[in-house]
Amino acid sequence: MIIPLLKGLATTLRMVFTKPITLQYPEEKRQVSPRWRGHPELTINEDGTRRCVACNLCLEVCPSNAIKGIVAGEAEDHGKYPVAFTINLQRCIFCGFCQEACPKGA
């Protein structure tokens, strides 16, 4: 009965002197791996316009058919833009082909 108590005490004392593995989230952020790919989304230029020109190349190259319904609109100042852009994240396999196919890096 005393042996398990001493083992528990030894574990407690050993862990007191180790570095904690938890982070205080708002102040400390985890390092993101350079290979990490988040969910795909449209990027925006500095002036607030969308980079996407509704060329549908991402729609054609997507192996899981996760991108649907790119409806193009016409603007006078910067040409075509997507009015509706739908990505089904449940079907997306996060391969990054849509990013590679995009001529504007959107």
Cβ neighbourhood burial of 40 (10 Å; 0-12, 13-18, 19+) = buried
CB under 8 Å to 78, separation ≥6 — which residues?
49
**C-alpha distances in angstroms, 88 versus 65, 67, 81?**
9, 6, 20
**Whole-model pTM?**
0.59
pLDDT digits (tens, 9 = 90+) for 25-37: 888 888 888 888 7
Q: Name 89's Cβ contacts closer than 8 Å, sequence gap at least 6.
A: 39, 66
Quote the CA–CA distance of 74 and 33 in Å, as a whole number.
Answer: 38
pLDDT digits 0-9 by tens, 46-88: 887 778 888 888 888 989 988 887 777 777 777 777 888 888 8
Q: Domains, the chain, ranges and CATH? A: 39-106 (3.30.70.3270)
